[in-house]
Amino acid sequence: MRLDKYLQLTKQFSKKEIQQLLKQHAITVNGNKAASLKQDVSKTDKVCLMGSRITEAPYFYLMVNKPAGILSALKDSHEKTIMDLIEHPRKDSLRIMGRLDRDTTGLMILTNDTRTIKRITLPQSHVEKEYEVTLRDPISKVAVQAFAEGLFIDQNVQLKPAELTILDDYHVKVIISEGRYHQIKKMFLSIHNQVLTLKRIRIHHLYLDDSLALGQYKCLDEKEIEQLTAK
Catalytic residues: 101
Q: How far is CA 147 from the centre of its chain?
A: 23
Distance CA 213, CA 1 (A): 30
Q: How many CA atoms lie within 13 A of 205 on its CB side?
A: 9
SS3 114: helix
Bridging pattern class, strands 105-111 and 195-203: parallel
DSSP string, 134-200: EESSPPPTHHHHHHHH--EETTTEEPPP-EEEEEETTEEEEEES---TTHHHHHHHHTT--EEEEEE
Q: Are 225 and 9 in contact (CB under 8 A)?
A: yes
SS3 44: coil
Distance CA 144, CA 74 (A): 36
**H-run or E-run covering 48:** strand 47-49
